[in-house]
Amino acid sequence: MRTQNFLETFNLEIPLIQAPMAGVSTPKLSAAVCNAGAIGSLGLGASTVEKAHETIKALKAKTSRPFNLNFFCHHTFAPSKDQEEKWLKKLEPLFNKHDSKSPLELKKIYESFYNNDALLKLIIEEKPAIVSFHFGLPTQKSIKSMKEKGIYLIASATTLKEALLIQAAGFDGVIAQGYEAGGHRGIFNENSHDDCLSLIPLLNQLVQNLSIPVIAAGGLMDGYSLRAVCKLGAAAGQMGTAFIGCPESSADCGYRNALFSDAAYHTVMTRTFSGRPARALSNEFTNFTIDANDDSVPPYPYSYDIAKQLHQVGVSKVFFGYGAYWAGQGAAFTRSLPATELVKTLKKEYAYSS
């Protein structure tokens, strides 16, 4: 019943959301997913208001079906001077290795949605079918404004406590993000204890204790696993890594080559890329920073500033070992298919396993 209601709410052919994946999702990818009968998403957490508007406009030009816009709702804390200097010094050898100078300071390269009136205004004007949040929740004023426009609101939870907060805030649905999931953990407080719950235990907790729909996320790569989580009570599933191999994604050649190599069997949860815990493919950067304790890593998004600069230095030398190649534990099962064909395949697998 939960799944059927979700299908009917958005007129879907399969209870599937393509994960937002800021930096990887594109209007072309999201539109193809939408037009194939699922829900496409755009990750706008790294976008300025102007860039977000441009990206939404491009998506709307390619589809008239429901889509999801995702934003980050974090609280930003600047690093201490000592923390900043030590982190810059730690990564300096990697810059030197490629005959490049390391930066002298870390910058706050992304803004949060929290109390961001300009982004809220954009959402109200564009009125997407779904808006989702990661890292926490927006203000009650923002929630009220979006709900008054009939926007379906969802947010990521890594624990039952977070999920109950999402439900109490008046959200329409919650994403159960298992520890297997690629990309950033949706954990509200990145410095609190993480129970590291895998998808199935988390999904069971949420389904049994919430009255709103639960969307399962983490390690789902095919229609069979999608059917399995729906049988456990999920209204739908969310897949991210499964779509990175699509030609419509903006993943660079280093990312794609890694996904279709032995590297896909090795993922690691680390905060050294961005300052928040996130699952990525293991590479030279994660190996170099593996000894870093959490307190030594500057907070999000300051760490991300230098990590992105280092990656660009590497790419300029045709070296891809520093990329934040986010991927879930199912990465080895990524398929190189156009998004339309991938959704068709997922629909067949989902139907076959009924």
CATH of the domain at 203: 3.20.20.70
Q: Are 263 and 126 contained in the same domain?
A: no
Q: Are 83 and 173 contained in the same domain?
A: no
Q: Are 166 and 262 contained in the same domain?
A: no
* HSE (side-chain half, CA atoms, 13 Å) at 158: 21
Q: Are 93 and 229 contained in the same domain?
A: no
Please indicate, yes or no, if residue 262 is contained in any of the structural domains.
Answer: yes
Partners of 173 in beta bridges? 154
Overall number of domains in the chain: 2
Report CA dihedral (153, 159, 162, 166) to the nearest 10 degrees: 20
Q: Are 175 and 317 contained in the same domain?
A: no
Please indicate, yes or no, if residue 85 is contained in any of the structural domains.
Answer: yes
Distance CA 284, CA 273 (A): 12
Are the C-beta atoms of 343 and 34 separated by less than 8 Å? Answer: no
The confidence score (pLDDT) of residue 337 equals: 99
Q: Are 183 and 237 contained in the same domain?
A: yes
The confidence score (pLDDT) of residue 79 equals: 97
Q: Are 206 and 280 contained in the same domain?
A: no
The confidence score (pLDDT) of residue 354 equals: 80
Q: Are 128 and 220 contained in the same domain?
A: yes
Distance CA 269, CA 326 (A): 10
Q: Are 240 and 293 contained in the same domain?
A: no
Please indicate, yes or no, if residue 318 is contained in any of the structural domains.
Answer: yes
Please indicate, yes or no, if residue 192 is contained in any of the structural domains.
Answer: yes
The confidence score (pLDDT) of residue 191 equals: 87
Task: State which residues of the chain have pLDDT below 70.
Answer: none
Alpha helix (H) ranges present in the chain? 2-10, 27-35, 49-60, 81-97, 117-126, 140-148, 160-168, 199-209, 223-231, 241-244, 253-259, 284-288, 302-316, 339-352
Q: Are 282 and 204 contained in the same domain?
A: no
Are the C-beta atoms of 81 and 53 separated by less than 8 Å? Answer: no
Distance CA 175, CA 235 (A): 10
Distance CA 67, CA 327 (A): 22
CA-wise closest residue to 171 among 182, 162, 179: 162
Q: Are 270 and 227 contained in the same domain?
A: no
Please indicate, yes or no, if residue 332 is contained in any of the structural domains.
Answer: no
Distance CA 192, CA 219 (A): 24
For residue 278, what are the domain limits? 79-110+252-324
Please indicate, yes or no, if residue 331 is contained in any of the structural domains.
Answer: no
pLDDT in tens, 103-112: 999 999 999 9
Please indicate, yes or no, if residue 204 is contained in any of the structural domains.
Answer: yes
Q: Is the pTM above the cut of 0.95?
A: yes
DSSP conformation letters of 289-305 = TTT--GGGSPPTTHHHH
Q: Are 300 and 353 contained in the same domain?
A: no
Please indicate, yes or no, if residue 330 is contained in any of the structural domains.
Answer: no
Q: Write out the two tokens for 250.
A: 């903006």
The confidence score (pLDDT) of residue 353 equals: 87
Partners of 21 in beta bridges? none
